[in-house]
Structure 1
Amino acid sequence: MTDPLIYRDRSEAGQVLARALEHYRNTDNALVLALPRGGVPVAYEVTRALGIPLDVFLVRKVGHPRQREYAIGALASGGALVLEPHGEQLPGAEIDPVVQEETLELERRERLYRHERPLPPIAGRTVIVVDDGLATGASMRAALQALRAQQPARLVVAAPVGAPDTCRALGALADEVVCPRQPEDFEAVGRWYQDFAQLSDEEVLAFLQRALLRTAQSPS
């Protein structure tokens, strides 16, 4: 029997999340920002259901210098860097080369996903930041730190599933955290999806292009 807390895929997760965000349907000047790559198909369903424009906000996880798959923090567009406690204990001489490498990759993805388009204005807007799940929350914290500096009217964290402790902690940084499923035995984001395949850059671009076309065709 399938666990009722497990999503079929990111599209179904986005549809569930959209229902949890229904109270933002008629919000003027709202904006959804997806954290690529996994947050993009989730956010696409949110924007499709609620009629809110979609864009991306780039975040890169920073891996341990000697074990790169082990995240010690995250880097966001604009240079915001958030380190986990175990990352803060490492000397800068070890961390700096990793941050520089991830900065280059972040800049590459900025050029690829945004095609030189500037980030939409943030000041005074309701900004909903979407990811496919919240484990440690490092990526989301980096995004919130960078976005808060641009003075949004309201900053909302939205994810289909997350660790309860992480969701509570993010509540101190955002005006609202919307996370419809918070299993106590969380372990990892991928556990709560039947299909959690990695997305390619081409797939991300396809979602963004469809969202941009929908926005352009929407009545003003």
Structure 2
Amino acid sequence: MRFKDRADAGRRLGALLAPYAAGAGCVLGIPRGGIVVAAEVARQLAWPLRAVSVKKVACPPNPELAIGAVAPDGTAVVNQEAIRALSIEPGELHQAVSTALEEARRREHLYGPLADIQEQLALIVDDGLATGYTAIAAARYVRRMGARPVVVAAPVAARASARLILDECDRLVALTTPSDLESVGHWYDDFRPVDDAVVVALLQELATPPRPAGA
């Protein structure tokens, strides 16, 4: 299964999540690419869209490799096995987490904080789950904010990561769970970067529940 772009993936994921439309909740997109997917889900469910501004913790020797993730309140998840295997020193890890936390807080300031999600169903959406750490950090964060139940959804999720995420949420929904993910971008024809302006525009457009399709 491949996706034309994030909007296509979001529409297909939204169709799978259609049964949730009968209830109430909030779609929480993980910036930046996850917001585009989440926007299509929010439209189909007629739920409001917000951002859950978690940020991956980059590996000091290789910034493209994620060794964890952190939420704006400091909730952090790190891959201890990777840290040991890569011989990352405590000082290096602290700096990597601090850098990610600074960006997470910048994003929350720009995109808006999570508010009024107590006792609400939180549907966390990303464009793909590779290591799973951003989704885990997001799930822990929204639980601390009082959301329940917590559902994580993505067009594609690595099978091994899906098992980890299931321990942190009430349900995981994915269109495909390959044993060999390669990379999230591998599953998209168009996986270009998403900038802040696109994220802000979508959040403003869908801040209140959109009208259901055909209403």
Q: Which runs of 5+ in 1 are unaligned?
A: none
Question: 1:207 Cα shift?
Answer: 1.3
| 2:125 counterpart of 1:130 | yes
Selected match of 1:17 from 3, 13, 17? 13
Residue pair 2:43, 2:210 contacting (<8 A) in 1 also: no
TM-score normalised over the length of structure 1: 0.89
Question: 1:120 Cα shift?
Answer: 2.1
Cα deviations across residues 53-100 of structure 1 (Å, max 9, x unaligned)? 110000111112222222111111211110012355333211112222
Residue pair 1:63, 1:71 contacting (<8 A) in 2 also: yes
| 2:18 counterpart of 1:34 | no
**Aligned residue number for residue 194 of structure 1:** 189
Q: Which amino acid aligns with 2:73?
A: G
Residue pair 1:73, 1:87 contacting (<8 A) in 2 also: no
**Aligned residue number for residue 178 of structure 1:** 173
Residue 156 of structure 1: SS of its match in structure 2? strand
**Aligned residue number for residue 53 of structure 2:** 58
Distance 1:46 1:67 in 2: 33
Distance 1:153 1:192 in 2: 30
Q: Which runs of 5+ in 2 are unaligned?
A: none
Distance 2:211 2:160 in 1: 41
Question: 1:22 Cα shift?
Answer: 1.0
Distance 2:199 2:147 in 1: 25
Cα deviations across residues 163-206 of structure 1 (Å, max 9, x unaligned)? 11211221121111010112233211000000000001111112
* Residues 153, 108 of structure 1: alpha-carbon distance in 2 compared, 3 angstrom cutoff: closer
Selected match of 2:164 from 169, 181, 197? 169
Runs of 4+ residues deviating >6 angstroms: none
Selected match of 2:209 from 203, 211, 215? 215
Counterparts of 1:61-210 in structure 2, within 5 Å, are 61-89=56-84, 90-114=88-112, 118-210=113-205
Distance 2:210 2:6 in 1: 24
Residue 206 of structure 1: SS of its match in structure 2? helix
Residue pair 2:78, 2:133 contacting (<8 A) in 1 also: yes
Distance 1:50 1:145 in 2: 23
Q: Which amino acid aligns with 1:92?
A: P
The share of aligned pairs that are identical, in percent, is 38
Distance 1:98 1:21 in 2: 35
Distance 2:66 2:195 in 1: 21
Count of aligned pairs between the two proteins: 209
Q: CA RMSD in A?
A: 1.7
TM-score normalised over the length of structure 2: 0.91
Residue pair 1:15, 1:46 contacting (<8 A) in 2 also: yes
Q: Which amino acid aligns with 1:86?
A: E
